[in-house]
C-alpha cells in the first residue's frame, strides 16, 4: 500500500466531515439547550494531545464569544491534580460544565477524569468524539458524535477538524450568534477550494528539506491551532517545531531564526498589523514566512465567513505541508514513529 494514503485521503476529505459535524450539532440543538442556557461558574474543556490543543482553541473561542469564563486543561491534570484545576467542591453548588473531547472516546486519562468528575458531582458533561460506542459517549450527559471524522491514521487531521467545527458551533450557539452559526455552512466549500488552490504551496514548503525548523505563531483561539499544527509537524516528520503566541516570539525564541527556519503565522483580523510586523521582522532576520489569513497572506481564505466561525480553515494546508515533508523524509505519515492511535494506561 502506498505510504501515507490514509493521511492524504483524510486531509482531502475533511470538508465532508465538517458538514457532518454541523449536521450533528443542528440535530442535537434541542438536547443542547440546557447546556447553552444554564449559568456555570466556568466551562472546562479537556482532552489529551491533539484534543487538549483543540480544547485550548475551543475555550478561547467560547470565552471570547460568550463572555463566560472558559479554560482548557489536559485530562491528566483534571484527573491527577484536581485541586489545581477545580475549586473546592460544595454540597450546594455544581457550577462547572465539562466539555470532554476525544477522537477515540476511550483515551484512559479522559475517561478516568470524566468518571471522577461525575463521582464528585461537579456538573454535567458534554462529550465531542468520533466514536459513539466507546466509554466517553456512555459517560456523558450528551455526546456529539461525528462518525465521518473517523480515521485510519494515527495522527489526527480529519478527526480534529471535525470536532473543532462542532466545538465552534457549540460556542456560537452558546453566544446566541445565529448569523455566525449559520455562516458555518459555508466552510466545506471554502475548505475544498483551499485544499485545491494551495496544495502545491504546501508541497513546496513541505518537500524543502533545507528547512530544519518550524515555528507556528498564533494568538487567541489561533494559539491552540498553532499548537496542533506544530504537533502534526513533530508527529509526521520528526522535525524540530514549536508553537508561540505572536508577540511572545520576540522574547527570546526569535534568536533561533535562521535562513533554514520557517515561521508560520496564523493571522487574525483584530491584531493583524501587530502580527504582520512580527513576521516582517523575522523575514528581515532571514526567516522564511508562510502566513494564513482571510486576506493579505500567503494562504488567503477569501471566505466571507466571520472570524469567529472560520478557525478550521487554518488547518488543511498546514496538515498537507507536514504530510509532504513526511514523505520527502522517507517516513510514513500514517504510522508516525513510536505512536499509537489511542493511549491506554493502567490508572
CATH of the domain at 250: 3.40.50.10490
Backbone torsions φ then ψ of 36, nearest 5 degrees: -80, -35
Nearest Cα residue to 250 out of 219, 282, 298: 282
Q: Which of 185, 206, 236 is at the close of a domain? A: 185
CA count, 13 A, side-chain hemisphere, 99:
29
Separation between Cα atoms, residue 270 and residue 256, nearest integer Å: 27
Q: What is the pLDDT of residue 91?
A: 47
**pLDDT tens for each residue of the chain, 347 residues long:** 578 899 999 999 999 999 999 999 999 999 999 988 878 889 999 999 999 999 999 999 999 999 999 999 999 999 999 999 998 766 445 589 999 999 999 999 999 999 999 999 999 999 999 999 999 999 999 999 999 999 999 899 999 999 999 999 999 999 999 999 999 999 999 999 999 999 999 999 999 999 999 999 999 999 999 999 999 999 999 999 999 999 999 999 999 999 999 999 999 999 999 999 999 999 999 999 999 999 999 999 999 999 999 999 999 999 999 999 999 999 999 987 655 555 555 66
Asked whether residue 347 is assigned to any structural domain, the reply reads no
pLDDT of residue 333: 93
143 and 260 fall within a common domain: no
**Residue 65 sits in the same domain as residue 207:** no
Residue 25 belongs to a domain = yes
Strands (E), 120-260: 125-129, 142-145, 213-217, 240-244
Decide if 345 is inside a domain. Answer: no
Q: Both 137 and 236 in a single domain?
A: no
> Do 160 and 11 share a structural domain?
yes
Q: Residue 52: name the closest of 274, 224, 184, 245 by CA.
A: 224
> What's the number of domains the chain is made of?
2
Same domain assignment for residues 171 and 215? no
pTM, full prediction: 0.95
What is the longest distance spanned by two Cα atoms in the chain?
60
Question: Is there a domain that residue 339 lies in?
Answer: no
In this prediction, residue 92 carries a pLDDT of: 47
Q: Is residue 334 part of a domain?
A: no
Q: Residues 144, 170: one domain?
A: yes
Residues 64, 163 within the same domain: yes
pLDDT computed for residue 94 by the predictor = 58
pLDDT at residue 242, rounded to an integer = 97
CA dihedral defined by 243, 248, 252, 258, rounded to 10 degrees?
50
91 and 147 in a single domain? The answer is yes
Looking at 67-134, list the stretches that DSSP marks H as alpha helix, in order from N- to C-terminal side. 75-80, 82-85, 108-119
Q: Is 341 among the domain residues?
A: no
Q: Report pLDDT for 2.
A: 76
Asked if 113 and 214 sit in the same domain, the reply is no
Regarding whether 135 and 31 lie in a shared domain, the answer is yes
User: Residue 59 falls within a domain, yes or no?
Assistant: yes
Which of 122, 154, 185 lies at the terminal end of a domain, its last residue? 185
Q: Give the domain-ending residue among 159, 185, 211.
A: 185
Q: Is residue 335 part of a domain?
A: no
Range of the domain at 159: 5-185
Q: Are residues 300 and 192 in the same domain?
A: yes
Helix axes 14-27, 5-12, angle to 10 degrees: 50
Identify whether residues 57 and 142 lie together within a single domain.
Answer: yes
Amino acid at each position: 500500500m502506498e505510504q501515507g494514503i490514509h493521511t492524504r485521503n483524510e486531509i482531502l476529505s475533511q470538508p465532508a466531515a465538517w458538514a457532518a459535524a454541523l449536521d450533528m450539532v443542528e440535530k442535537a440543538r434541542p438536547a443542547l439547550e440546557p447546556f447553552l442556557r444554564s449559568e456555570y461558574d466556568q466551562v472546562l474543556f479537556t482532552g489529551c494531545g491533539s484534543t487538549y490543543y483543540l480544547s485550548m482553541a475551543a475555550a478561547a473561542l467560547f470565552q471570547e464569544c460568550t463572555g463566560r469564563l472558559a479554560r482548557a486543561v489536559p485530562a491528566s491534570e483534571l484527573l491527577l491534580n484536581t485541586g489545581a484545576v477545580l475549586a473546592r467542591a460544595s454540597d450546594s453548588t455544581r457550577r462547572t460544565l465539562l466539555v470532554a473531547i476525544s477522537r477515540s472516546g476511550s483515551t484512559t486519562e479522559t475517561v478516568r477524569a470524566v468518571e471522577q468528575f461525575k463521582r464528585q458531582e461537579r456538573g454535567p458533561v458534554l462529550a465531542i468524539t468520533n466514536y459513539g460506542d466507546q466509554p466517553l459517549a456512555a459517560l456523558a450527559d450528551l455526546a456529539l458524535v461525528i462518525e465521518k471524522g473517523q480515521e485510519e491514521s494515527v495522527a489526527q487531521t480529519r478527526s480534529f477538524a471535525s470536532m473543532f467545527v462542532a466545538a465552534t458551533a457549540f460556542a456560537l450557539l452558546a453566544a446566541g450568534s445565529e448569523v455566525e452559526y449559520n455562516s458555518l455552512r459555508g466552510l466545506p466549500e471554502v475548505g475544498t477550494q483551499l485544499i485545491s488552490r494551495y496544495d502545491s504551496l504546501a508541497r513546496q514548503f513541505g518537500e524543502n528539506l533545507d528547512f530544519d525548523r518550524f515555528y507556528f505563531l498564533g494568538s487567541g483561539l489561533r494559539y491552540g491551532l498553532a499548537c496542533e499544527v506544530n504537533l502534526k509537524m513533530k508527529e509526521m516528520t520528526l522535525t524540530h517545531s514549536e508553537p508561540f503566541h505572536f508577540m511572545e516570539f520576540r522574547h527570546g525564541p526569535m534568536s533561533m531564526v535562521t535562513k533554514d527556519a520557517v515561521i508560520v503565522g496564523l493571522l487574525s483580523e483584530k491584531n493583524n498589523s501587530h502580527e504582520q510586523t512580527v513576521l516582517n521582522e523575522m523575514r528581515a532576520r532571514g526567516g522564511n514566512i508562510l502566513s494564513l489569513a482571510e486576506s493579505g497572506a500567503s494562504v488567503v481564505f477569501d471566505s466571507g465567513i466571520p472570524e469567529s466561525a472560520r478557525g478550521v480553515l487554518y488547518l488543511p494546508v498546514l496538515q498537507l505541508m507536514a504530510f509532504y515533508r513526511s514523505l520527502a523524509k522517507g517516513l510514513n505519515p500514517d504510522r508516525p514513529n513510536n505512536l499509537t492511535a489511542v493511549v491506554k494506561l493502567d490508572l
